[in-house]
Structure 1
Amino acid sequence: MKLFFCLSLVSSLLLSACHREDSATTAAAPSVSEASNAGNYPLDTCVVSGEKLGSMGKPYIITYEGQEVRLCCKSCQGHFQEDPGKYLAKLKLK
């Protein structure tokens, strides 16, 4: 019984260490925000899909290098991360 308890404890510690590594690697990714300043954002469409923000539910908001970016849904984040400059340029045009 003691052996089982020790093995359980060790595996729990290893899993928690893995979780901390994962969270450290995702820290460099764009952060997601729930709060928004509707009057300050220059677009009413998703920079990736062109869909109207809010047409698929609450906009998915990320911050990339200090710039707030609003997407129509979470799946657009992957496309954004492939070429952020392309999509950030759309914000600067407005």
Structure 2
Amino acid sequence: MQFFRSLSLAVALLSVAAFSNTAFAHDGHNKDKGQLVPVTEKDAAWVAKAKAEYPTTACIVSEDKLGGDMGKPVDFIYRVEGQPDRLISFCCKDCVKDFNKDPEKYLKVLDGAAAKKDGSAHAEHQHKK
């Protein structure tokens, strides 16, 4: 009887250890992904510069005009360890939830807008020559 109790205890402990390692591995995986961080006063100068260079006037989630009917844009900093911070502007707080469900999808929208803006700026520069 003692043997079965010890065996049950050993199995339970191994299960907990295996689950803990899985949980920690999962936590480490999330560190590779970015997170939205609220803008603070110490970020003001960086945000002002990033807003001036922001590639779109529309929310990357809803496609509504930033600063339009939804009011003042909601700004966040998107941080990924080892990469430069990125400004993300939303038309409203509801879009933050949608962004967090699939950040890569919306980052591609932002990257596409940036590429389009850079392409048109390049074309304007070429035209001025």
TM-score range, shorter chain: 0.5 to 0.7
Aligned to 2:40: 37
TM-score by length of 2: 0.47
* Greater Cα offset, 18-27 or 35-44: 35-44
Shift of 1:26: 2.0
TM-aligned CA distance change 1:21 to 1:10, over 3 Å? same
* Aligned residue identity for 1:49: S
SS of the aligned residue for 1:32 comes to: strand
Q: Distance in 2 between matches of 1:75 and 1:5?
A: 44
Report the number of matched residues. Answer: 87
Could you tell me how far apart the structure 1 residues matched to 2:40 and 2:63 are? 20
Report the counterpart of residue 81 of structure 1 in structure 2. Answer: 104
What is the Cα deviation at residue 85 of structure 1?
4.1
Task: Show structure 2 runs of 5+ residues with no match.
Answer: 118-129
Identity of aligned residues (%): 10
CA contact (8 A) 1:48 1:76 kept: yes
Greater fraction of residues in helix: 2
Which of 21, 26, 32 is equivalent to 1:22?
Answer: 26
Q: Which residue of 1 aligns with 2:123?
A: none
Unaligned runs of 5+ in 1: none
Q: Which residue of 54, 59, 63 maps to 1:46?
A: 59
